[in-house]
Amino acid sequence: MLPPSLPPVRCLLLCAPLWTACAAPPPPVVQTLRLDVPPSLLACLPQPEPPGAGADDPTLARWVLDLAEAGEDCRTRLARVAEVVAAP
């Protein structure tokens, strides 16, 4: 048989779990990571200057090849940066 009234301390102990149920959740944990990308991957070959108006075919061909090489260099470096950033 239960006593007609519970002592105040017992009542508080029984109600304590109910009070924590309404508490605000703890703030999320934010972790910042610094990724070190090697400086050699942060600069591409410069884009070659186009030849002048009266350039001959061999000069234009060399410029096109240099332009393609500069583009490939940048794509390769960007792919390496992506690997560094995606590494676990």
Pure H helices in 1-88: 8-20, 57-86
Check residue 24 and give its pLDDT: 78
Check residue 87 and give its pLDDT: 74
Q: pLDDT of 27-62, one tens digit each? A: 899 888 778 888 888 999 999 999 998 999 999 999
Count of domains observed in the chain: 1
Do the domain assignments include residue 29? no
Q: What is the pTM of this model?
A: 0.56
Check residue 26 and give its pLDDT: 83
Q: What is the mean pLDDT of the chain?
A: 83
Do the domain assignments include residue 13? no
CA distance 69 to 33: 34
Do the domain assignments include residue 14? no
